[in-house]
Structure 1
Amino acid sequence: MSEQYQVQIKRLPGNEDIPLPAKMSELASGFDLYAALADPIVLAPGERALIPTGFALAMPGELEAQIRPRSGLAFKHGLTTLNTPGTIDADYRGEVKVLLINHGSSPFAIERKERIAQMVFQRVPQVVFQEVEELDDTVRGTGGFGHTGTK
């Protein structure tokens, strides 16, 4: 049996009709998020917008929520999320919003209650930095961007 975490969710006023995040299949890792727009918006090609979801979260300190694109919107329309994955920290209590961009060639209309992204929860390890004078050597060394391939 997998671990379970209690995550509190608060529906924000005026969004009683917006579905709460939901998995679309039994083994889905992501919870679909819905647009809580007062009025539809149209994203022109290259345009971006911050889309409200109508809820806020409180989760345990060992979790983060990652906001990721929906593959169908990305493939069919070129609609994706910027800052992917977006991170919702455990101490954030504001409305969860999704930063969408239209990379497609046609305008895309976003309606109220439309599924716009997905939210995946991840454990966050507690990390303590240890300052050192030198780092262990590896085969890769300081090779960075493009170091391991030709394309």
Structure 2
Amino acid sequence: MAVHTGQESFTCDICGQRFSCKKSLNSHLTVHTGQNPFACEHCGTIFSQKKNLNAHMKVHTGQNAFACHLCGQRFCHKKSLNSHMTVHAGQNPFPCELCGKRFSKKRNLNIHLIVHKEQKPFACDLCEQRFSDKTTLNRHMTVHTGEKPFP
């Protein structure tokens, strides 16, 4: 709510996403850095957040109530099983607007976008600064126009 009420907000320098608290921003930054400091001591799977590791631990304790009838993989939430089923159905509803590659999960698309951060095909006509996506270029243009991006 802080973003909508005009209270102090925290903005990601990489993608421009805004957060109402510093903790949320720091958690979000792992999407860009690829940092995964939490490792499962049973299987070695790594996670960016402790809560995700805790949820994963149910795999090893047998607490996952939802099983995929096609491959046997188990999940602790019905939502996770439903998301997993798109893998078997060949559904990839999340396309990359930069290269056309498609992904079954939004998170995987966001991780993929890091690849394009090194490529900067969008150039500012006024100062030649380059950007990896059109949205960031448009946001940059407000530097030259003096236009405020939000009312």
Bigger share in strand: 1
- Relative to the length of structure 1, the TM-score reads 0.22
Higher RCO (CA 8 Å, separation ≥ 6 residues): 1
